[in-house]
Amino acid sequence: MIRVASYNMRKAIGTDRRRNPERILEVLREVNADVIALQEADRRFGARAAVITPHLLEEHSDWKPVTFGVRVNSMGWHGNALLVRKDSQIVDCELIHLPALEPRGAVMADVRIGATILRVIGMHLDLSGLWRRRQAAAILAHVSASTHQRPTVMMGDLNEWTRAAGCLRDFSRDFAFAETGPSFHARRPVGRLDRIMVSEQLTIVECGVHQSAAARKASDHLPIWADLRPA
């Protein structure tokens, strides 16, 4: 069984308007996933430094970041980051360029977990429905064109409210959705903005939204998770 999770950590600014990276790590430890897709993991301005420092991650967590080598101080790219267990092997990783009016991108990694090589894609899509559909098309085309096809999980904040339309309908043609439930706003979750989607080589065994007291304070989104089994 492989547990995956997605979390818009809002640059570690909680619902109390305080920035606290240690709180984010506390929530991640509670979720205890093998692979985590983070959104808004870097500061927005300046050097775009990672909010969770390398020291914090190394000394106080079970995960290591997938490094994409784009910005020295960043954890990921355009705020998207992937964390994997320290004992897992990163087989390959790359960036996915997305069409956008403002900087947007997705990150992809092939990770060996036990006997399985899992392809993981993390994303944070646009607020505009038109651009979300263009970005979904770019991600799907990139995955389809890959030389090596692997069991794939795509996760992130899709900013889409309606399941029957827009980019969610586009993704659903080839991927199944984990029925995790609403994750936004953390204090009173009503929106299913955060999503986990899997290819046909994976079975969703269990899934949900993590709603601990720490999670309700750490960000304006709650983390979502899914337990997967190779089909």
pLDDT tens-digit map of 75-102: 989 999 999 999 999 999 999 999 988 8
Structure-block tokens of residue 38: 């983070």
Q: What is the mean pLDDT of the chain?
A: 94
- Residue 166 gets the label, from left (phi > 0), alpha (psi -120 to 50) or beta, of left
In tens, the pLDDT along 23-54 reads 999 999 999 999 999 999 998 776 778 999 99
Closest CA to 64 of 99, 100, 89: 89
Could you tell me the maximum CA-CA distance found in the chain, to the nearest angstrom?
Answer: 46
119-155 residue pLDDT tens: 999 999 999 999 999 999 999 999 999 989 999 999 9
pLDDT band at 162 (very low <50, low <70, confident <90, very high): confident
Please, which residues have CB within 8 angstroms of residue 132's CB and are 6 or more apart in sequence? 125, 126, 158, 159, 160, 166, 167
